[in-house]
């Protein structure tokens, strides 16, 4: 499924330093280069995340906190091709976003979504993403718990039926798929609990049914 997972690079107006562990995890934001004539005074931040192909029309699923407020979104595919993407839908209450690339000339391979009733504790869990900018990193573990409820990071809303996993989830995995052994998406990696800002074996994924 690696060709169906993408690396997302976002440029946005600078308004924070690093990432807030009280919010869903993301790659630490770093000052980016400012193309002449494109950016106004000040500087921009760059952040990274992951996503996966949803359909052949060019729709890609990721997290809201990866792309929200973006001025420029670039999607890189496994073969090295990088294209621009635009936001077409945001649901902050579930931290799920949909972005879109121009599918003309692209051979896109959508991933299959699994139903929540097929997910069980002890099931093998596989994450593919871009932790700390290390593209297409695969980590494995099990489904540690199901039915968790976590804060969406948007007001007072919570996300139900969340999947907990001990597969290593780190900043940059945000928006990437959590898969079963058949390669079906069981969830979208979105948060971790960690005081060290790295995997402590407690990661959360929004279920694919949501």
CA 102 to chain centre: 20
Q: What is the pLDDT confidence band of residue 180, given thresholds at 50, 70 and 90?
A: very high
209 is catalytic: no
The two three-digit tokens of residue 171, written as one number: 């900043």
> From the candidates 50, 94, 152, 174, which is the catalytic residue?
174
Which of helix, strand or coil describes residue 45? strand
* Residues, the chain: 210
> From the candidates 4, 59, 65, 144, which is the catalytic residue?
65
Span 94-108, pLDDT tens digits: 999 999 999 999 999
117 is catalytic: no
Dmax (CA) for the chain in angstroms is 53
CA 166 – CA 160 distance, rounded (Å) = 19
Res. 38: pLDDT tops 60: no
CA 210 – CA 195 distance, rounded (Å) = 28
Higher model confidence: residue 210 or residue 112? 112
Lookup result for tokens 């993407």: 85
Give the residue-averaged pLDDT of 120-143: 96
Res. 198: pLDDT tops 60: yes
Give the containing element (helix H, strand E) for 71: strand 70-76
* Nearest one of 19, 32, 33, 49 to 134, comparing CA atoms: 49
Contact present, 110 and 4 (Cβ < 8 Å): yes
174 is catalytic: yes
Give the residue-averaged pLDDT of 146-174: 89
The two three-digit tokens of residue 125, written as one number: 């869990």
End-to-end, the C-alpha distance of the chain in Å comes to: 21
């Amino acid at each position: 499924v690696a060709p169906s997972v993408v690396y997302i690079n976002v440029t946005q107006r600078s308004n924070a330093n690093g990432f807030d562990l009280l919010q869903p995890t993301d790659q630490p934001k770093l000052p980016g280069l400012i193309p002449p004539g494109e950016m106004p005074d000040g500087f921009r931040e760059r952040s990274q995340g992951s996503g996966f192909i949803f359909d052949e029309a060019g729709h890609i699923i990721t997290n809201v906190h990866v792309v929200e407020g973006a001025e420029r979104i670039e999607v890189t595919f496994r073969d090295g091709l990088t294209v621009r993407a635009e936001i077409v839908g945001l649901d902050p209450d579930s931290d799920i976003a949909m972005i879109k690339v121009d599918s003309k000339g692209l051979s896109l391979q959508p991933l299959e979504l699994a139903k929540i009733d097929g997910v069980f504790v002890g099931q093998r869990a596989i994450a593919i993403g871009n932790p700390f900018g290390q593209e297409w990193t695969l980590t494995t573990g099990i489904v540690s718990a199901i039915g968790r409820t976590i804060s969406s990071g948007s007001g007072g809303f919570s996300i139900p039926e969340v999947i907990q996993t001990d597969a290593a989830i780190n900043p940059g995995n945000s928006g990437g798929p959590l898969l079963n052994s058949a390669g079906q998406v069981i969830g979208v990696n979105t948060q971790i609990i960690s005081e060290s800002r790295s995997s402590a074996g407690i990661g959360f994924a929004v279920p694919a049914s949501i």
